[in-house]
């Protein structure tokens, strides 16, 4: 089963707002049948360039990496799942990367 990594960049917020945004993101993926196996906080740091979203300029962001297995690629990624996540005002950017092909889930 292919493993996917979802890299998220969120705007710099307090811990409760960040947790709520991550919860919404995970719930959106799980509603479409994805299994979220891991969530890694990569920390808050300066963005490589300033981002303007919803008429606000941001120079810092919080980076997160989610490890997941979708039921099928079409169901989760091509039927507006990334669009639903990216519509969230707290999400700057997301990238989906195909990982290794794993025979046994660990």
pLDDT of residue 52: 83
Which among 11, 67, 64 has a CA at the least distance from the CA of 36? 67
User: With the C-alpha atoms ordered 42, 44, 47, 50, is the resulting torsion angle positive or negative?
Assistant: positive
Residue 77 is predicted with a pLDDT of 55
What separation, in Å, do the N-terminal and C-terminal C-alpha atoms of the chain show? 12
Neighbours of 91 (CB within 10 A): 21
Tens of pLDDT, residue by residue, the chain (106 residues): 677 888 888 888 899 999 998 998 888 888 888 888 999 999 999 988 888 887 888 899 999 988 888 776 555 555 455 666 666 766 766 667 676 555 444 4
* CATH fold group of domain 2-100: Alpha-Beta Plaits (3.30.70)
Q: What angle do CA 15, 19, 20 make, to 5 degrees?
A: 120
- Domain regions of the chain by residue span: 2-100
């Amino acid at each position: 089963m292919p493993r996917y990594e979802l890299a998220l960049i969120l705007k710099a917020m307090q811990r409760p707002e960040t947790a709520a945004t991550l919860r919404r993101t995970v719930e959106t993926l799980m509603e479409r049948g994805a299994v979220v196996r891991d969530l890694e906080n990569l920390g808050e740091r300066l963005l490589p360039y300033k981002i303007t979203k919803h008429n606000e300029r941001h120079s810092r962001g919080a980076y997160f990496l989610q490890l997941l297995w979708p039921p099928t690629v079409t169901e989760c990624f091509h039927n507006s799942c990334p669009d639903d996540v990216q519509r969230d005002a707290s999400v700057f950017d997301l990238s989906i990367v195909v990982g290794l092909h794993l025979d046994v889930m660990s």
